[in-house]
Amino acid sequence: MSHDNKRATTLRSRDEAARVSNEELFFDLVYAFSVTQLSHYLLDHLTLLGAFQTLVMWFAVWLGWQYTAWTTNWFNPGALRIRGVLFAIMLLAMVMASALPGAFAERGLVFALCFVGIQAGRTFCMLIAIGSNDPLTPNFRRLLAWNCLAGAFWIAGGLAEGQARLALWFVGVLCEYIAPMIGLRFPGLGRSTTADWTIDGGHLAERCQLFVIVALGESVLATGIAFGQHTEWHGIDLFALLVGFSGSLAMWWMYFDTSAKEATHAIEHSPDPGGIGAKFHYTHVILVAGIIVCAVADELTINEGSHHAELKYLGALIGGPALYLFGNALFKRVVRGFLPQSHLYGLGLLAVLAVFAPHLSVMVVGTLTTLVMIAVAALEAVVRRRAWAAAAAR
């Protein structure tokens, strides 16, 4: 097969808009499992150390998904060789998620090897798929170099123990997050520009939206499972269920009601889709982290509602909504060019609540944070609809 024919079968056609494939939807299932594992780990380790460990593992999970989303933006997941790579990554991601509860104990090396296999293995396979003369080849060579550098820290961390493991893995995370910010610059290999990242904006926006759905699904599952485990359902249990569901609905409303279509339009019509696509991923890592922490808060509200709101509970109860509002505000800043005031008001209210929260119960704090989220969603919906109506009247 000639190079041109080989390239045509492995890369997506840019003659028409790329659509999310069944292979990609199937691939996302394993990340629903990963999000569940992360929220359960945080719930079992409600300390500063546990939060930082969860953060590092979340970055690893997101990196594995994020780089694969970019890969399937360039490469056709329906092609047999690309489909094989995608499903191999899926298997490694499943083992990695299974090892997550013991990642800072006996399964650290397994977790690290799976992550390195996903990152470096994917990039190496893509290099083989396109050959040595493709315009994308230099970009993937630089990416592979960074994957290997980060992988050295991950494997070293897997062999280390305690705080040394956490420190080494954090450096590994920084390598892969900072690399795109400097154009994947690597000694002897040059650097890339965002103009080299010729992505399909609509596809990338849709992939991010689907991951938000996956994370929100975990929030709904956490609420339902925690409620179902109660042997008797009393009025207070039903109220806690309503609080958890309303919080998930408010998060969905904030993201999908007023910004999802705008996001697709913004990235599709950007003169630098690669640059705005990178910003999408940097903002979504914060936004989705907020959803994961909110899932923990929902379980606490249902299971520990009558308990005093100790400091370890407040990190999830207030920190989750704050992370989500902050990430969502940054996301909308990328899409619209300005920070939504509704989100800033919400963050201000959460800051005020944090002052009084130590004197309240878990149920009261969970209820108040949910009311803040509902108010932000409602305020933004009203403001945006008025703006649309005024624009239409001109």
Contact present, 20 and 207 (Cβ < 8 Å) = yes
Higher pLDDT, 227 or 305: 227
DSSP letter string, 106-145: TTHHHHHHHHHHHHHHHHHHHHHHH-SSSTTHHHHHHHHH
Contact present, 19 and 203 (Cβ < 8 Å) = yes
Residue 32 identity: A
Is pLDDT at 9 greater than 70 in this prediction?
no
Higher pLDDT, 231 or 102: 102
CA distance 194 to 171: 24
Looking at residue 323, what is its pLDDT? 95
Looking at residue 197, what is its pLDDT? 64
Is pLDDT at 44 greater than 60 in this prediction?
yes
pLDDT tens profile 251-269 = 999 998 766 667 777 776 7
Identify the sign of the CA torsion 82, 12, 208, 119. Answer: positive
Tokens of 298: 């929902």
Q: Using pLDDT thresholds of 50, 70 and 90, give the confidence band for residue 33.
A: very high
Angle between helices 341-356 and 362-393 (to 10 degrees): 170
Looking at residue 289, what is its pLDDT? 95
CA distance 114 to 121: 10
DSSP letter string, 299-358: HHHHHSTTSB--HHHHHHHTHHHHHHHHHHHHHHHHHHSS--HHHHHHHHHHHHHHHHGG
pLDDT averaged over every residue in the chain? 86
pLDDT tens profile 105-140 = 999 999 999 999 999 999 998 888 887 777 778 888
CA distance 17 to 27: 21
Entry field: residues in the chain: 394
- Kindly give, in sequence order, each residue whose CB lies less than 8 Å from that of residue 92, ignoring residues fewer than 6 positions away: 114, 117, 118, 121
Tokens of 179: 């690399």
Q: In 3-state terms, what secondary structure has residue 266?
A: helix
Nearest to 288 by CA among 368, 224, 340, 213: 213
pLDDT tens profile 46-85 = 999 999 999 999 999 999 998 898 888 888 888 888 889 9
Is pLDDT at 193 greater than 80 in this prediction?
no
Looking at residue 1, what is its pLDDT? 46
pLDDT tens profile 354-382 = 999 999 999 999 999 999 999 999 998 88
pLDDT tens profile 174-184 = 998 888 888 78
Nearest to 227 by CA among 242, 212, 209, 207: 242
Is pLDDT at 8 greater than 50 in this prediction?
no
Looking at residue 265, what is its pLDDT? 72
Q: Using pLDDT thresholds of 50, 70 and 90, give the confidence band for residue 2.
A: very low
